[in-house]
Structure 1
């Protein structure tokens, strides 16, 4: 209990120290969301409007708000068995070491499938799809949208229909 309280205190302290956040639209809603096995942290708040989400995402690309936030937390909690990764446009995840998306691969077993394809949009280092995308047990595909995923699946699994609309 004490460690989760110190994590939340650090999250609040670190998030408000970012000068870039002063340039953001007003923050709204849930900033720290408890999910199964992880925390999801959104510096702008999960209840932001679509316009605020896009505005924050653009600012984050320039100012690296989430990246700086994560780096501060990595320093503060070094050696505590926590991992941090970007998720979506406005948040990042905090979870125990080993609980990333690769966790499901252990349940499948070595010989269950000849090939496992993974499609994700946050596949660069630090993204919440990176570990499973780069895992040698998968064939990783970086996509930008649901439509891109459908197109890539058609190309891979149904090449004869890949160019049909």
Structure 2
């Protein structure tokens, strides 16, 4: 599960980059953009990057695999989702790639850190004291479920289903 979450985190990172450098390579050489080559190459790169991140954090840094999953990919995914869904990728729209994607990724990382702390704090208030770490991983599982299992679908419903109404009204909530 930790690897799967890392893969999705890396894919969302490429979304922030508009799939740069692959998109630049495809423009320069359109034959690279065709399937199945495009899918195979991007999949292999995503898998390699994901494996390297997981190995670095768990093996080199010595993080517990469940703690890693919640602190790194789940929290980063939540930060990426905030930028993609709530901000509609709008910050720095005129900045060219890859700089724009790097700025958005840094924003996602900052959001990940802040939201991870916020959700763990909120868990202590809403649920009460929870033990962190093995064997139950109560705090980690609550944090991951609250971020991605509950809050993100509500954000998506609010944004996509209701056009951010009542925060935006009329023509403001239309693309």
TM-score (norm 1): 0.25
Q: Which has the higher helix share?
A: 2
